[in-house]
Amino acid sequence: MRIALVAAEVFPFAKTGGLADVCGALPAALENLGHEVIVIMPYYRCVGPQQAFNERALTATIGRNVRVFFLIHKEFFNRAGLYGTRTGDYPDNLDRFSFFCHQALAFLKELGTPFDIVHCHEWQTGLLPVLLKEQGGQDSFFARTRTVFTIHNLAYQGLFPAEQFAKLGVGQELFNDRQLEFYGKINLMKAGIVCSDYVTTVSPQYAREIQTQDFGCWLEGVLKSRRDRLTGILNGLDYSHWDPLTDGYLEPKYDGQVMSAKHVHKARLQEELGLEVLPDIPVFGFVGRLCYQKGLDLLESAFEELMRRPVQLVFQGRGEDKYQNMLLRLAKWSPQKCGVSIRYDERAAHRIYAGSDFFLMPSIYEPCGLTQMISLRYGAIPVTSHVGGLVDTVTDIASETGHGNGIVMSTYSVAGLLEAVDRAVGMYYQQERMQAFVRHGMSCRWTWEAAARRYVECYETCLQSA
């Protein structure tokens, strides 16, 4: 199969969250299954040298032989951020990503041999299935190409004022409530959902949740109407990158002698964040985008109570000013027990996974979540809410299945969070039990190979109707 993956961020070139991890790992996994894969993404300032903005095209390689093609547009993409600044989105995001989709299509044609599948990710690529549907009818080059659209986070839909519709370069008749219109606005996520041949999202549980009012972000009806072509495929984790035994950011590396190595990393982490360097207090880590989704409001409400317990908290993240300021305030209240680092830093993130005993993830919703998988691999037991991909990956250690790998809040409330933390602390002081769970957690695997096989099944279903 010839597959083109199109996305706005791909690790290691540009990353703001899990989307990049997925788009960096899936192509190589598909290639390993014997498919021919290319990737198309914008060339941003963070990708490489500035001079490249004067080039016409640039390529790189991931996996064994996956070509990554960067589309270049100096005015649109030579900026500090991918989608905006701290104060908000870039006002011309519709122009930027409309350009990207049109260019991607033109580029596919330039390559000369048709693709079987164009796999689009998130709202930034939502226009592409629309263009392909329109062109597929008119241009024999695209007639047999099928599109798959993956939702990574339904809360970010790419909403724009109706007056900008002409910028999309598609027929005005598509601006109706069954297609691109959404409460008087343009909705690019909806465009991708209604115009693609198959819709996927990043966990089975999230696929169910987004068809309900609680999680559907007003698109539940649209999603339900596509339920025979909607499925949840759990993300894998790239274990060649996330491996404490080979991790270039860690010394000592570890797999077998977990506890002694983790002690070293913990002491270093405590020192780096200005906490009291105590070996016998459980450290709860957090790495993530600082936004509503990640449950920071609940952590704030529970903070005073948390600080009465024998725990230390370590936060690393970047995001909304509101949450950045809140975390800095909490750290100021309890500098010896709460360390905060407001930044995006890969190396420091690896050190938090390695140095923490537990990993906090009280998300309000969580499409898949990679950080619970990462923390498990690094021997930090996740303490989570019970939503989305967390349901598919974290089982409570008290569950009767005997496969428990984390601590799951019984309710989404301050009491639920405190109860989960108390259970974590209790377990921490039962060293043998703790070690057994750490070892079990480190052995859990969600491979990209398994996920890629599921994507191939979707691609095949699409092609059967070609």
Binding site for ligand ADP (CB under 6 A): 17-18, 21, 287-289, 316-318, 344-346, 349, 368-371, 374
Which residue in the shown chain puts its C-beta closest to ligand ADP? Answer: 18
Q: Which is nearer to ligand ADP, 232 or 317 (by Cβ)? A: 317
What single string gives the DSSP state of each residue in 341-356?
A: EES--HHHHHHHHHH-
Q: β-pairing, 407-408 with 181-182?
A: unpaired
Q: What does the alpha-carbon distance between residue 142 and residue 128 come to, in Å, rounded to a whole number?
A: 12
Q: Which is nearer to ligand ADP, 19 or 72 (by Cβ)? A: 19
Distances (CA, A) of 348 to 33, 136, 273, 317, 420: 33, 46, 11, 10, 26
Least Cβ distance, residue 376 to ligand ADP (angstroms) = 12
Are 297 and 291 in contact by the 8 Å Cβ rule? The answer is: no
Q: Which is nearer to ligand ADP, 126 or 236 (by Cβ)? A: 236
Residue 215 tokens read as: 């999680």
Q: β-pairing, 198-201 with 230-232?
A: parallel
Least Cβ distance, residue 45 to ligand ADP (angstroms) = 18
Least Cβ distance, residue 273 to ligand ADP (angstroms) = 14
- The backbone region for 274, taken as left when phi is positive above 0, alpha when psi lies in -120 to 50, beta otherwise, is left
Least Cβ distance, residue 296 to ligand ADP (angstroms) = 13
Q: Which is nearer to ligand ADP, 276 or 345 (by Cβ)? A: 345
Q: Which is nearer to ligand ADP, 345 or 460 (by Cβ)? A: 345
Least Cβ distance, residue 287 to ligand ADP (angstroms) = 5
Least Cβ distance, residue 175 to ligand ADP (angstroms) = 30
Q: Which is nearer to ligand ADP, 38 or 374 (by Cβ)? A: 374
Q: Which is nearer to ligand ADP, 346 or 422 (by Cβ)? A: 346
Q: Which is nearer to ligand ADP, 99 or 448 (by Cβ)? A: 448
Least Cβ distance, residue 3 to ligand ADP (angstroms) = 22
Q: Which is nearer to ligand ADP, 318 or 454 (by Cβ)? A: 318
Q: What does the alpha-carbon distance between residue 75 and residue 174 come to, in Å, rounded to a whole number?
A: 29
Least Cβ distance, residue 374 to ligand ADP (angstroms) = 6
Compute the 3-state secondary structure of the chain and give helix, strand, coil in percent, each to the nearest 5.
Answer: 45, 20, 35
Q: Which is nearer to ligand ADP, 16 or 461 (by Cβ)? A: 16
Strand ordering across the sheet containing 159-161: 159-161, 185-187, 181-182
The dihedral over CA atoms of 256, 257, 263, 269, expressed in degrees to the nearest 10, equals -40
Q: What does the alpha-carbon distance between residue 172 and residue 167 come to, in Å, rounded to a whole number?
A: 11
Least Cβ distance, residue 373 to ligand ADP (angstroms) = 8
Least Cβ distance, residue 317 to ligand ADP (angstroms) = 5
Least Cβ distance, residue 346 to ligand ADP (angstroms) = 5
Are 197 and 462 in contact by the 8 Å Cβ rule? The answer is: yes
Are 396 and 407 in contact by the 8 Å Cβ rule? The answer is: yes
Are 107 and 71 in contact by the 8 Å Cβ rule? The answer is: yes
Q: What does the alpha-carbon distance between residue 276 and residue 249 come to, in Å, rounded to a whole number?
A: 23
Least Cβ distance, residue 441 to ligand ADP (angstroms) = 16
Residue 414 tokens read as: 């301050």
DSSP class of residue 240 equals T
Are 239 and 28 in contact by the 8 Å Cβ rule? The answer is: no
Q: Which is nearer to ligand ADP, 200 or 316 (by Cβ)? A: 316
Strand ordering across the sheet containing 338-342: 338-342, 312-319, 283-290, 358-361, 381-384, 407-408
Are 420 and 309 in contact by the 8 Å Cβ rule? The answer is: no
